[in-house]
A and B are shown apart, each in its own frame.
Chain A
Amino acid sequence: MELVKPGLGLIFWMTITFSIVLFILSKFAWKPILNSIREREDSINNALNAAEEARKQMSALKTDNEKLLNQARAERDQMLKDANDMKDNIIAQAKKSAEDEGRKIIEKASASIEAAKVNAMNELKTQVAVLTVDLAEKVLRKKMEDRAQQESFVNENLKSITLN
Chain B
Amino acid sequence: MQSNNKKIFRYLIPVFLVLLYVGYNSASLFADESHTVDSLTETATVASHDAEHHETIGEMEHESAVEAEHKVDAGKLIMEHIGDAHDWHIATIGKSHISIPLPIIIKDNQGFKIFSSSRFHHGHEAYEGYKLEENKIVAVNEAGEINHEASFLDLSITKNVMSMFISVLFLCWLMLSVARHYTKNAGKAPKGIANLIETLIMFIRDEVAKPSIGPKYAKFLPYLLTIFFFIFINNLFGLIPFFPGGANVTGNIAVTMVLAVFTFVITSFNGNKSYWGHIFMPPGVPKALWILLVPIEIIGMLNKPIVLMIRLFANITAGHIIMLGFFSLIFIFGAMSETLGLGVSVLSVAFTVFMNFLELLVAFLQAYVFTLLSALYFGMAVEEHAHEEHH
How many Å lie between the Cα of A14 and that of B253 in the bound state? 11
Contact A18 B259 (CB under 8 A): yes
A4 engages B253 (CB within 8 Å): yes
Task: Identify which of residues 221-272 in chain B touch chain A, using a CB-to-CB cut-off of 8 Å.
Answer: 221-223, 225-226, 229-230, 252-255, 257-259, 262
A11 touches B172 (CB 8 A): no
B84, B168, B186, B254: the one within 8 Å of A36 (CB): B186
Q: Which of the 9-residue segments B158-166, B280-288, B367-375 touches chain A?
A: B158-166
Which of A24-32, A51-59, A122-130, A145-153 makes up part of the contact surface?
Answer: A24-32
Query: Is B153's CB within 8 Å of the partner chain A?
Result: yes
- Inter-subunit contact B253/A30 (CB<8 Å): no
How long is the Cα–Cα vector from A25 to B317 in the complex, in angstroms?
A: 27
A6 contact set on B, CB distance < 8 A: 252-254, 257
> B175 contacts A13, CB within 8 Å?
no
Q: Does the CB pair A40–B187 fall under 8 Å?
A: yes
**CB of A43 within 8 Å of the partner chain:** yes
Please tell me if A15 contacts chain B, counting CB pairs below 8 Å.
yes
Min CB–CB distance A15 → chain B (angstroms): 5
- When chains A and B are docked, how far (Å) is the Cα of A30 from the Cα of B221? 8
Asked if A17 and B175 sit within 8 Å, CB to CB, the answer is no
Q: Is B83 an interface residue (CB 8 A)?
A: yes
Of B186, B189, B197, B226, most A-chain CB atoms within 10 Å: B226
For the residues of B in contact with A, the DSSP-based class is helix
Which of B154, B155, B158, B168 is in CB contact (< 8 Å) with A21?
B168
How many Å from the CB of B38 to the closest CB on chain A?
35
Residues of B near A106 (CB, < 8 A) are none
A105 CB within 8 Å of chain B? no
Q: Is the CB of A37 within 8 A of B198?
A: yes
**B side interface size, CB within 8 A:** 52
Asked if A21 and B253 make an inter-chain contact with CB atoms under 8 angstroms apart, the answer reads no
Closest to B175 in A: A29
Q: Are A32 and B258 in contact (CB under 8 A)?
A: no
> B201 is contacted by which of A2, A34, A39 (Cβ under 8 Å)?
A34
| Bound-state Cα–Cα, A28 to B188, Å | 19
Give the contact stretch, choosing among B55-63, B138-146, B176-184: B176-184
Q: Does A3 contact B (CB under 8 A)?
A: yes
Q: Is the CB of B198 within 8 A of A25?
A: no
Q: Are B83 and A3 in contact (CB under 8 A)?
A: yes
Q: Is B361 an interface residue (CB 8 A)?
A: no
- Give complex CA distance A32, B178 in Å: 9
| Contact with B179, one of A17, A33, A43 (Cβ below 8 angstroms) | A33
**Shortest distance between the CB of A87 and any CB in chain B (Å):** 68
**B20 sits at the interface (CB 8 A):** no
Q: B181 to chain A: closest CB distance in Å? A: 9
A154 neighbours in B (Cβ, 8 Å): none
Q: Which A residues lie within 8 Å of B365 (CB)?
A: none
The distance in angstroms between the C-alpha atoms of A33 and B134, with both chains bound, is: 45
**Residues of A contacting B66 with CB < 8 Å?**
none
Residue contact B79 to A2, C-beta cutoff 8 Å: yes
A-chain residues with CB within 8 Å of residue B223 when the two chains form the complex: 22, 26
Are B257 and A24 closer than 8 Å at their CB atoms?
no
18 A-B pairs besides A6-B253, A29-B172 with CB distance below 8 A are A3-B82, A4-B253, A4-B313, A8-B155, A9-B153, A10-B252, A10-B255, A14-B161, A18-B259, A25-B172, A25-B229, A26-B226, A28-B175, A31-B222, A33-B197, A34-B221, A36-B187, A40-B188
A/B interface sample: 10 pairs, CB < 8 A: A4-B253, A5-B253, A10-B160, A11-B254, A12-B155, A18-B262, A21-B226, A22-B222, A26-B226, A33-B201
Residues in B lying within 8 Å of A, measured CB to CB: 79, 82-84, 105, 134, 136, 153-158, 160-161, 164-165, 168, 171-172, 175-176, 178-179, 182-183, 186-189, 197-198, 201-202, 205, 221-223, 225-226, 229-230, 252-255, 257-259, 262, 313, 317
Q: A residues near B, CB below 8 A? A: 2-15, 17-18, 21-22, 24-26, 28-34, 36-37, 39-40, 43
